[in-house]
Amino acid sequence: MESERIIGQSEKRTTRKEVLEKKKAIENVIKEAYSVKDHLSFFRSFRHYKANSGLPSCLVLLLFVFCIYAHLKSGWGNKLTVDTKKYIQNLLKLNMEGPYGHEWPAEEKIKRREMVAGEARYIFVHEISSEDYNAVTQPHDSDMTCTCHGPIVGFVHYRFIMEEEVPVAYVYELQLEPRVQGKGLGKFLMQLIELIACKNKMSAVVLTVQKANWLAMDFYIGKLRYTISAISPSRVDPLFKQDTSYEILCKTFDHEAKAVLEAS
């Protein structure tokens, strides 16, 4: 009996050691991801984007609908300029006050704190001229340093965190000005975030969406094939799913993340 007790204690210590080692390994992965100064540096082809109008090319010419030319830049939450902070606040209010409804005043305060955190990472979308776009996207100029300048028309705020003992890239915000929505830019940005997640050894991309924001729900679930996560309130406790105003969505990249974040 004594030998069985000793063996049992040894097994518990081994299990606890394995859990701690796994947690430490994940923390190191996240730390390494944060050490990268510019996540865009690995994806040069994603630095520029020509957003179509969402219309057939014949109608674009007929109606004189112009394309949106964009240049992407990385940013850090604790290094935002005053003007950039103000821009983010205004765009968040424009896009999210409606979906949040009466919850918005409280949520706005939370978002203002989140956006300037040291862990916050950004991809900013700057609108540029067609001349600048054409100059930097020529094949022979693929290695040239971009000096594009233009106003911000959208952004992605993301972070690297541990969710249910799984390293994930969590998208806090994806916001675009109304006039550049519906042109493929949102999908382009999410593809970039997924690439950044995989490059930095994250096992999934996770995000939160207001149920009232049905366009966003359709975008992520219908078009990008995200699923309602097992950690979303409506799946954790289905009996009380009507009491929550949001869903947590995810897209996983390995079996362990799938088992934890998508399991029934």
Q: Verify that 42 and 83 share a domain, yes or no.
A: yes
Among residues 223, 201, 220, the alpha carbon closest in space to that of 39 is found at 201
Q: Verify that 130 and 206 share a domain, yes or no.
A: yes
Q: Which domain holds residue 22?
A: 1-35
Q: Verify that 18 and 57 share a domain, yes or no.
A: no
Q: Verify that 89 and 106 share a domain, yes or no.
A: yes
Q: Verify that 27 and 112 share a domain, yes or no.
A: no
The overall average pLDDT reported for the chain is: 88
Q: Verify that 153 and 225 share a domain, yes or no.
A: yes
User: What percent of the chain stands above pLDDT 70?
Assistant: 84
Q: Verify that 120 and 177 share a domain, yes or no.
A: yes
Report d(CA 159, CA 171) in Å as an integer.
7
Q: Verify that 89 and 205 share a domain, yes or no.
A: yes
Least confident of 70-79, 195-204, 220-229, 240-249: 240-249
Residue 62: predicted pLDDT: 41
Q: Verify that 133 and 47 share a domain, yes or no.
A: yes
| pLDDT per residue as tens digits for the range 114-173 | 999 999 999 999 999 888 888 777 755 555 556 677 999 999 999 999 999 999 999 999
Q: How many domains does the chain have?
A: 2
Q: Verify that 119 and 153 share a domain, yes or no.
A: yes
